[in-house]
Structure formats: structure tokens, C-alpha cells
Amino acid sequence: MHLSSIPLVFAQMTSADDIVREAARLQRNYEFLSYGLTIAWVILVIYVLLMVSRERKLKREIASLKAMIEDRRKS
């Protein structure tokens, strides 16, 4: 794999149009890279939030059932 820096890419350009086109391509690449990374993180964060909400619901239900059983035992 060959790596090149942005200035090197521009140095090989022949016309102003090429430079504009290459700059647009780079911009689009960065845009889509940021979409990709954002979406990957958003999916994981949504999943974590779902887990947190499920945990709260479980704890609430367990506490209410325990209280109900305790009440029934007393009465």
C-alpha cells in the first residue's frame, strides 16, 4: 500500500480543474468517512441507551413485585 500526502497529490495535478475536482473528491471522502464513524458510534450508543432503559425497567419491576409480595405476606 502506498501512502501519499495531500500536497503530493496536488503537485501531480496538471490543470486548475484537476485540482478543483481532486479537492471536491477529498472533501466528499472526508464527509462520508465522518458519516461512517458517526453512524457506527450512534448504533453502539443507541444500544447502550436501550440497555440502560431496560435495566431501569427491570429494577423498577423487581422492586414493585418485592413490595407487593411483602405486603401480601404481612396481610
Exposure class string for 8-17: b at 16+ Cβ within 10 A, else e: eeeeeeeeee
Assign 1 to helix, strand or coil.
Answer: coil
Minimum CB–partner distance for residue 58 and another protein (Å): 4
Please give the residue ranges that form the binding site for another protein (CB under 8 A).
1-6, 25-26, 28-30, 32-33, 35-37, 39-40, 43-44, 47-48, 51, 54-55, 58-59, 61-62, 65-66, 68-69, 72-73
Q: Rounded to the nearest 5°, which phi and psi values hold at 47?
A: -65, -45
How far apart, in whole angstroms, are the C-alpha atoms of residue 35 and residue 38?
A: 5
Minimum CB–partner distance for residue 29 and another protein (Å): 4
Q: Of 1 and 16, which CB lies nearer to another protein in the complex structure?
A: 1
Q: Of 15 and 68, which CB lies nearer to another protein in the complex structure?
A: 68
